[in-house]
């Protein structure tokens, strides 16, 4: 891996981490608001719709967690390249 490739990969990994954490934070806050609405409603149809929406939030959160994990895994080649250089 060249120095330029390592720099570019490092830059992209940091962007991915930042995106994942920002998405996660925003998702958590919005999910909390919908959940609060579900607990406060008496309308059974709205409650059912909000349960389905909460499930979609859960699935999206799982995808973000996978993104974080795979981004961390992408650091392995960077570490190997740095070790080989030394």
The string of pLDDT tens digits covering residues 20-66 is 889 989 999 999 999 999 999 999 999 999 999 999 999 998 999 89
Nearest C-alpha neighbor of 18 from the set 81, 73, 67, 76 = 67
Residue 83 has pLDDT above 90, yes or no: no
C-alpha angle with apex 55: 52 to 60, nearest 5 degrees? 130
Contact predicate 57/30, CB 8 Å: yes
* 0.75 exceeded by pTM: no
Query: The tokens of 72 are what?
Result: 């961390």
pLDDT confidence tier of residue 84, bands split at 50, 70 and 90? confident
Contacts of 35 (CB under 8 A, 6+ apart): 50, 54
Return d(Cα 10, Cα 14) in angstroms, integer: 6
Average pLDDT over residues 58-78: 88
């Amino acid at each position: 891996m060249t120095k330029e490739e390592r720099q570019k990969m490092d830059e992209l990994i940091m962007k991915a981490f930042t995106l994942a954490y920002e998405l996660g934070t925003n998702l958590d806050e919005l999910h909390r608001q919908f959940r609060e609405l579900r607990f406060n409603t008496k309308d059974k149809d709205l409650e059912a719709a909000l349960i389905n929406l909460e499930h979609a939030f859960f699935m999206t959160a799982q995808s973000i967690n996978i993104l974080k994990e795979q981004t961390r895994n992408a650091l392995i080649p960077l570490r190997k390249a740095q070790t080989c250089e030394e």
